[in-house]
A and B are shown apart, each in its own frame.
Chain A
Amino acid sequence: MYDQTNHLPALPGVGYKPQHYSDLVANPAPVGWLEIHAENYMGAGGRPIAQLKQLSGHFPISVHGVGLSIGGEDALDPDHLSRLKHLCDWLNPASFSEHLAWSTHESAFMNDLLPLPYTEVTLKRVCDHIDQLQDTIGRRMLLENPSSYLAFDDSTYAEPDFLSEVSKRTGCGLLLDVNNIFVSATNLNYSPYAYVDAFDLDKVGEIHLGGHDEDEDDHGAPLLIDSHGREVADPVWTLLDYVLERSGPLPTLIEWDTDVPEWPVLAEEARRADIALSKLNARAKVTA
């Protein structure tokens, strides 16, 4: 078992984009921490590494992997495990997280977070992979719930139960993406609130929020796409309040990865997360 302490502050964070560097260093409020995608900082040198070294002097950093393929059928890539260890060793991030998804199959990397069925077989494989990762980097990781566009007929676990079981067996924490809950619940026609009720909120070390796009499936049913390319939708903010009321304050990240806006637009989203967290603190004081 690795360190259970959550070192990220229960404040808004943003996914770091190099074009926001000057704004973030000059006037970061209300942003209290940053998240980076691990794979973007695995070059040998140059600006990305230099900037990350600078930033880590200003902010707690969360390293978020998008390429390990924890949910895949292949063995984990030993080279990639070494790269993750190297990054965590020199950066000493406040948190490390990855996804309940796969991206590599038979050595081809698909650059997307792909879904897996939730069965006894995949449960064991995911747990083995997480054990291997945590043993390699010597840290506890957080595992993120995916956004789903379809269901596997083979699945025998509901997603919150699957994640809870992974956490129980491996000691890993969970990263709760509230937009992903809303996207999956809409696409697969269940209540996002029931999902939250079933989720092991005690294990959550971080929240994600992001924007989604709207489409339709072959039958005209709504099909939401997890695009990270716009503002967080209103019902997702409402769902965030519902989560936070049950979990207490948590580090809350705004993800905006495509059509990245100017800093003031992203800062406004972070302020909205700050309001959601502050409401909670105010209520806690009143109750006390």
Chain B
Amino acid sequence: MSLTAFNDALLDPTADRPEGLSDSAGRPAGKRFDVYRNNVTVSLREALEAGFPATARLLGEQNFTAIATGYLRANPPSSPLMMLYGGGFPRYISNVPALAKLGYLRDVARLEYAMRQSYHAEDAPELAADKLAALAPEQLYNARLAFAPATQVVLTEWPIHAIRAKALGETAENPPGVAQPTLVTRPEFDPILTPLPAEQADLLAELMRNKTLAEASTMHPTADLGTLLGTLLATKALTDIKIEDKQ
């Protein structure tokens, strides 16, 4: 027999169990095949729950089980690296009609996936603070920043930093009524989260697109560049600062 029938019935609960499988007495395998079905479904669902713990709490167990099961049946992993599984889960959530009013769910899930990527990202030496201090203002404004592979920024209109913390029981306080785009960095081994004012986050996003400090500041003139640079240094978000040679 081809393994295709076996494979296809694993994630399709409506599919007939494959032919040619039996118990020791030659009777059809029946429930014995369902052990594999169950193993696959539960292991993938548990991987999603471990990767998106706050999203899972926000949805509640029953909803999460239903939504995660829908996701994994339509989107099984494409690689044996389970640490990467679930990159499409935030978008999937945002397309579930019943969740249309809970717009923050997608962005909390994006934040959790960014943390997972940060956790496994390549190690990199941090920028020496004196390298920055040694620059003349004009040099600084024409410089570009090099970010550690573990550094990410999650842009959002929702207070995702506080929503996540509350969902995980890290705080009892209600989320504020402001957007919390969030900087993810990894000073050592554990990703840390820093909510940023929206204009600083937009400025940071431009810097991460390799714009010079001057270019990014021109695009977001109200953002506090000095404070942002201080945050990036304090959280070890940077690896280098690149000075442009004068043409």
Tell me how many residue pairs across A and B have CB atoms closer than 8 Å. Answer: 144
Once the chains bind, are B120 and A105 in contact (CB under 8 Å)?
no
Q: How far is the CA of A242 from the CA of B153 in the complex (A)?
A: 58
Once the chains bind, are A217 and B80 in contact (CB under 8 Å)?
no
Q: How far is the CA of A65 from the CA of B247 in the complex (A)?
A: 53
Can you name the residue of chain B whose Cβ is closest to the Cβ of A65?
A: B80
Confirm or deny: A57 has a beta carbon within 8 angstroms of a beta carbon on chain B: no
Once the chains bind, are A223 and B31 in contact (CB under 8 Å)?
yes
Once the chains bind, are A45 and B121 in contact (CB under 8 Å)?
yes
Instruction: Say yes or no: A112-B120 contact (C-beta < 8 A), given A39-B80, A188-B24, A219-B27.
Output: no
Once the chains bind, are A109 and B78 in contact (CB under 8 Å)?
yes
Confirm or deny: B165 has a beta carbon within 8 angstroms of a beta carbon on chain A: no
Residues of B1-37 whose CB lies within 8 A of A: 1-4, 6-7, 10-11, 20-25, 27, 29-33, 35-36
Can you name the residue of chain A whose Cβ is closest to the Cβ of B84?
A: A43
A95 to chain B, nearest CB (A): 20
Once the chains bind, are A150 and B40 in contact (CB under 8 Å)?
no
B residues within 8 A CB of A170?
none
Residues of A120-153 whose CB lies within 8 A of B: 149-153
Once the chains bind, are A188 and B186 in contact (CB under 8 Å)?
no
Confirm or deny: A106 has a beta carbon within 8 angstroms of a beta carbon on chain B: yes
Once the chains bind, are B20 and A73 in contact (CB under 8 Å)?
no
A182 to chain B, nearest CB (A): 15
Sample (16) of A-B pairs whose CB atoms are under 8 Å apart: A43-B81, A43-B120, A45-B150, A66-B80, A80-B80, A104-B80, A106-B7, A109-B77, A112-B40, A114-B3, A149-B36, A150-B21, A151-B22, A151-B23, A189-B25, A215-B35
Q: Which residues of B pack against A, CB within 8 Å? A: 1-4, 6-7, 10-11, 20-25, 27, 29-33, 35-36, 39-40, 43-44, 47, 76-83, 119-124, 149-150, 186, 189-190
Listed from nearest, the 9 A-B pairs whose CB atoms lie closest are A67-B80, A43-B120, A189-B24, A44-B122, A47-B189, A45-B123, A150-B29, A105-B7, A109-B77
